[in-house]
Chains A and B, each alone.
Chain A
Amino acid sequence: MAEPVAGAPAALTRKDFESDQEVRWCPGCGDYSVLANIQRVLPEFGIPRENFVFVSGIGCSSRFPYYMNTYGFHTIHGRAPAFATGIKLARPELSVWVVTGDGDGLSIGGNHLLHAIRRNVDLQIMLFNNRIYGLTKGQFSPTSRLGMKNKSIPMGVIDHPVDPIGFALGAGATFVARVIDVDAVGLQEVLRRAYAHRGTAFIEILQNCPVFNDGEWQALEDRRTRADAGLPLEHGKPLVFGAKGRRRGIRIEHGVPHVVELADDADPVAAGVTVHDERVERPAYAFSLASLTPPDFPTPTGVLRAVERPSYDRLLEEQVATARQQRGPGDLRALLHSGDTWTVE
């Protein structure tokens, strides 16, 4: 989140955030929907357009900054979190957003993503997970499912995939959310929440790549199946999912999830269904949510975890302020003359 700016800026609209560049994703790419929803939400935040910076790595989704009429930096493969960290530490008043892919963020850039998250730098990190390398034309990525066949492994993927949410939680993330590319309402709500969070807000976006991995998230996107396949999270509300007649809940017991069958009119809490609490300090609960995967469980979407911890940029500013308080502003002459000196006449 950026500091509110004094003097309300003129009201902005979605149009103000559209750049003059032609958007060049493939037709039907999930990236379009995310772009549109970001452009819709940003004007609500009431900060001037020039205070937004979009930073990306390399990949299809990483073209994102070119399409935003804000400041933007399309960097190198995997390193966007490190560039963004430098920007935020230099200028804490800016609102800095990171756009990365599953290959960009979790393969070549896994290290930087880990460290940005554990430092809790005040960034919004959107990881577009299409479970494939799009820009390089269809090799498997670190999130590709076991057995999936593609160009670089025709006999099927044999490396165990990484789960972005589990990865973020393992790195100590203070804010973790998952959204579906085409779910405008869910997406916008999570973007608002992410913006308001002070610290790293990590968002996994389940994104369809119709060209190289079409239908990867179909069960969650399709109107007919999504009620059964997804588990929309809401703080303080029980973990309930399923269409009418197939209503179910999730009970998490000692960290182990169970599905609880529910009559349409049953009280889920009375039936032992767990009530979602995104503010649980210990990450075990969020890990239990992360462990909900098909086919046995629905996929949770929304905010899984949102806790408070001082952000790195704030702590750094505090050190600078403390140093100034204790020693006054830097004095170059005093520095050069510190220690033993002698005069030659």
Chain B
Amino acid sequence: MPTAQAPPAARAPKPHQRIDRVAIRFAGDSGDGMQLTGTKFTESTALAGNDLSTLPDFPAEIRAPAGTLAGVSGFQIHFSSTDVRTPADQPDVLVAMNPAALKANLGDVRPGGMVIINSDAFSDKSLERAGYQDDPLPDARERFRLVEIPLTRLTFEALADLNLSQREGARSKNFFALGLMYWLYGRPLESTLRWIASRFSGEIAEANRRVLMAGIHFGETSELFPVSFEVPPAKIEPGLYRNITGNTALAWGAVAASVQMERPLFVGAYPITPASDVLHELAKHRHFGIRTFQAEDEIAAAAAAIGAAFAGQLALTVTSGPGFLLKQEALNLAVMTELPIVAVDVQRAGPSTGMPTKTEQADLLMTIHGRSSDSPVPVLAPATPGECFSVMIEAFRIAVKYMTPVVVLSDGYLANSAEPWKIPALETLPRTPVVYHSEREDFSPYRRVPDTLARPWAIPGTPGLEHRIGGIEKQDVSGNVSYLPANHQRMTDLRHEKVERIAAEFPPLEPRGAGSGRLLVVGWGGTHGAIATAVDEARAAGREVAHLHLRQLNPLPRDLGAVLARFERVLVPELNAGQLVRILRDRYLVPAQSYSKVQGQPFHVSELRAAIDRALEA
């Protein structure tokens, strides 16, 4: 039995009903604190022992005009007493703080679901600002269980004897919504109360606490809620858990790599959504010897990281698509000079600025093929927020072992969504202390280790190993400048062969569901949860389908061709216009079908279910 650290919230004398799972979406103006509300609800839900998955969805504008559709910010959480792999296609409950939030989100809510609104925010003026011609509420009352609560007024009532301005008071109203939802789903309160006490002080802390409690009492006493719900804890693998987002996991994975490899970490970065939080997180940990360097642009960030790698540090550069593009020339130098750095691309939607806060996985071909000339680089992709941690350790290990830059492809969805993560015991993490080359005898900067083809990592300060490297083609072994035709052929082949050899280490592929059969769904990266859920559902409905999720995109696993050949059909769902599917067709000559979605949003399970059925029928 999971034991929550905090006692459950005060229970109403009302009956409670057991349910298996529920998805709630909090939506409001970007100034309404919806991300915070969602995050606090998530933490509390994790402490209640449920499995969960979240989807924050916020506008790129920092403060779009209040009350408009452009300014709506949302946070969805799906939690359950069984396995949860996606934030859910449709919320069962929508909390809408204003008409714009209602308008932007109502269409997603499960028919018959619960819609809680702040009725104080539904003035004629704000309806108009949200673009409503007619009052949407009569219709909503028919299609949903609409709960209208004068949330602003109740908030002010709870604060009546405090000395707060109108504005300060109004800021607390998201805590009312949070409190109400805590009551409705029996969430533990204590960690939120502790957080309020540590984060705010004086009257503001008191206000937030009171409004939170007012929300709870409202649930207990109001006739609007005849029952509350209970979602029993999930039966998940025993262990110590915490919540983690992909971005935090990427940062901590880099810290762990540095600790386990016993070398300081250098981080070159330039702010860009949705990757900046990785820099922010790493910047907090100077005491680990981490040197974060906010460079003048992404080119300099990559260049400084490569410089640090030349000097012997574990080097990381973190960015999103547009920044990755700028780094490509520097990465090409790392390919030529065979230096170990890890370059993370937290992908976002669209070419150019596109939709910076929305997710996509359309940088695959760019990272594999987007440098000038033939320039092989290993590319890894985590499948879940938690996996972002282990993939970073793996990326650094490969980078150093093979002396190569390594790309890690995360995405905007993994970056911000949270899931419970079993904290790994340190003993289970690979421990591979870095050893630099120091042997003078027979030293040549491009004399390779026979099995990995890695060149020696000989760092400045080592006597007797002085050498020069650069982007000009190298003579095999000596590393001197060479323009000889046959040498260029050989070096090009060696660079390819070195990267291909990494695949010898990959574990055998094991499709989920079946090893052979009618249909194999092949995915990669952050779509794992949605695909796995859809495939499980399809199998439960008797469909002959299996799921293979690739963590290694370059080199591809050696058994991939054989696995693909064991299925009659292959379906490749991707949040791009069809990129992995091209690679698979090209490489294995299989008639793989693409299922593509480019809306800045993750896959819905229902879409994938339908795509699977279509692929089986066709």
Interface residues of A (CB under 8 A from B): 19, 21, 48-56, 58, 65-66, 68-76, 79, 82-91, 93-94, 111-112, 114-115, 316, 319-320, 322-324, 326-330, 332-333, 335-337, 339-345
Contacts and interface: CB of A to CB of B under 8 A. Distances in A.
B312 interface: yes
Contacts of B471: 58, 74-76
Given A65-B470, A83-B306, A328-B287, 7 more contacts: A66-B470, A319-B286, A324-B287, A330-B259, A330-B289, A340-B191, A343-B238
Contacts of B460: 50-53, 71, 87, 91, 94
A76 B329 CA distance: 8
Contacts of B337: 73
20 contacts: A71-B466, A76-B303, A79-B330, A82-B299, A82-B301, A82-B307, A83-B303, A89-B293, A89-B308, A94-B461, A112-B303, A316-B291, A320-B287, A332-B255, A332-B256, A333-B426, A335-B252, A336-B252, A341-B241, A343-B241
Residue of A48, A112, A114, A324 contacting most chain B CB atoms (<10 Å): A112
B287 A87 contact: no
Contacts of A94: 311, 460-461
Contacts of A89: 266, 291, 293, 304, 308
B240 interface: yes
Nearest to B242: A341
B519 to A, nearest CB: 34
Interface in B289-338: 289-291, 293, 295-297, 299-301, 303-313, 315, 329-330, 332-333, 337
Interface in B202-245: 233, 236-243
B293 A86 contact: yes
B287 A342 contact: no
A323 B286 contact: yes
A342 B4 contact: yes
Interface of B: 1-5, 43, 46-47, 49, 191, 233, 236-243, 252, 255-256, 259, 264, 266, 268, 285-291, 293, 295-297, 299-301, 303-313, 315, 329-330, 332-333, 337, 423-424, 426, 459-472, 480-481
B470 A87 contact: no
Given A50-B463, A51-B460, A75-B470, A90 B287 contact: no
Contacts of B305: 86
B472 A74 contact: yes
A342 B241 contact: yes
A111 B297 contact: yes
Contacts of B237: 344
A56 B472 CA distance: 13
A207 B285 CA distance: 45
Contacts of B295: 82, 85, 115
Contacts of A330: 255, 259, 285, 287-290
Contacts of B467: 71-72
Nearest to B1: A345
Nearest to B472: A74
A89 B2 CA distance: 47
Contacts of A75: 303, 306, 333, 470-471
B236 A344 contact: yes
Residue of B289, B300, B332 contacting most chain A CB atoms (<10 Å): B300
Nearest to B314: A90
Given A86-B303, A86-B311, A332-B259, A74 B469 contact: yes
B252 A323 contact: no
B287 A326 contact: yes
Contact of B291 (A72, A83, A90): A90
A50 B437 CA distance: 14
A258 B54 CA distance: 71
Contacts of B289: 320, 324, 329-330
A115 B296 CA distance: 7
Contacts of B426: 332-333
A64 B551 CA distance: 42
Given A74-B468, A340-B5, A342-B49, A66 B307 contact: no
B326 to A, nearest CB: 11
A315 to B, nearest CB: 11
B436 to A, nearest CB: 12
A105 B266 CA distance: 25
B3 A342 contact: yes
B222 to A, nearest CB: 29
Contacts of B332: 76
A112 B330 CA distance: 14
A7 to B, nearest CB: 12
A324 B290 CA distance: 11
B310 A73 contact: yes
Contacts of A56: 470
B307 A90 contact: yes
A86 B267 CA distance: 9
B299 A79 contact: yes
Given A74-B468, A75-B470, A75-B471, A87 B310 contact: yes
Contacts of B252: 335-336
A316 to B, nearest CB: 6
Contacts of B1: 345
B258 to A, nearest CB: 8
B315 A86 contact: yes
A50 B297 contact: no
A90 B312 contact: yes
Contacts of B266: 86, 89-90
Residue of B233, B242, B315, B466 contacting most chain A CB atoms (<10 Å): B466
A86 B314 CA distance: 11
Given A82-B300, A86-B307, A336-B423, A320 B468 contact: no
Nearest to A80: B303
A76 B330 contact: yes
A72 B49 contact: no
A151 B291 CA distance: 45
Nearest to A329: B287
A342 B47 contact: yes
A55 B304 CA distance: 12
Given A75-B471, A111-B296, A340-B242, A90 B308 contact: yes
Contact of B304 (A66, A71, A82, A340): A82
A83 B268 CA distance: 11
A74 B300 contact: no
B307 A83 contact: yes
Nearest to A339: B242
B423 A341 contact: yes
B459 to A, nearest CB: 8
Contacts of B470: 56, 65-66, 72-75
Contacts of A55: 307
B481 A66 contact: yes
B311 A65 contact: no
Residue of A73, A316, A345 contacting most chain B CB atoms (<10 Å): A73
A73 B468 contact: yes
Contacts of A340: 5, 43, 46-47, 191, 242-243
A58 B329 CA distance: 13
A95 B310 CA distance: 14
> 10 nearest interchain CB pairs?
A86-B307, A74-B470, A330-B288, A86-B304, A72-B468, A82-B303, A323-B286, A82-B300, A83-B307, A90-B308
A329 B301 CA distance: 26
Nearest to B3: A343
Contacts of A86: 266, 268, 293, 303-311, 315
A83 B286 contact: no
A184 B256 CA distance: 51
A76 B333 contact: yes
B307 A84 contact: yes
Given A90-B311, A333-B426, A50 B243 contact: no
Contacts of B303: 75-76, 79, 82-83, 85-86, 112
Contacts of B255: 330, 332, 335
Residue of B311, B463, B465, B481 contacting most chain A CB atoms (<10 Å): B311
Nearest to B268: A86
